[in-house]
Structure 1
Amino acid sequence: MIERRGSPRQRVYKRGTIAFNGGGFDCTVRNLSDGGARIDVEGPVRLPEHFMLVIESDRVMHRCRPIWSSAQRVGVAFE
């Protein structure tokens, strides 16, 4: 398998929030890199073109855009 990520990923299990338009919903962050993340959601969701990924335990917010999705998983790139 060819690795296409620009930076190595770190496996994590962190609670997150996908925030947009004054609202949002919970997610689980499953891996992180300098350039993006993989997140798990409760079910198939339609995400906006850009949103904020909030990880309260780390006190960070990342502006994101979805890159890929399948069932309950979403890959995002940080902007």
Structure 2
Amino acid sequence: MAEHRATPRHRVLKAGIIEFGGGAIDCTVRNMSEAGAALDVASPIGIPDRFGLILPAEGRCLPCHVVWRKEKRIGVAFDRDQ
């Protein structure tokens, strides 16, 4: 399979939190690059198109938007201009 991403992603296994409008959903970060990530979620239903991805172990919150959705995984791109 050809790689179509602008920056290569690296496999990781990190705890994350999807935070939006006062709500929060736990997720697992499965792969990540400087430009985006793939997140495992219980269900993508109810997750908005834009949210903050909190990485508690790193003490970071990354604003991002959804690029694609599957049954239990979503792909996001990081919003660097915010």
TM-score, with length taken from structure 1: 0.93
Which runs of 4 or more aligned residues in structure 1 lie more than 3 Å from their structure 2 counterparts after TM superposition?
Answer: none
| Aligned counterparts of 2:52 and 2:23: Cα–Cα separation in 1 | 11
Indicate the residue corresponding to 2:21 in structure 1: 21
- SS of 1:57's partner is coil
Which segments of 5 or more consecutive residues in structure 2 lack a partner in the other structure?
A: none
Note if contact 1:47-1:66 (Cα within 8 Å) is conserved in structure 2: no
Indicate the residue corresponding to 1:8 in structure 2: 8
Indicate the residue corresponding to 1:35 in structure 2: 35
Aligned length: 79
Give the root-mean-square deviation of aligned CA atoms: 1.0
Percent identity of equivalent pairs: 44
Q: How much has 1:24 moved relative to structure 2? A: 1.0
- SS of 1:42's partner is coil
Amino acid at match of 2:68: W
Which segments of 5 or more consecutive residues in structure 1 lack a partner in the other structure?
A: none
Note if contact 1:62-1:78 (Cα within 8 Å) is conserved in structure 2: yes
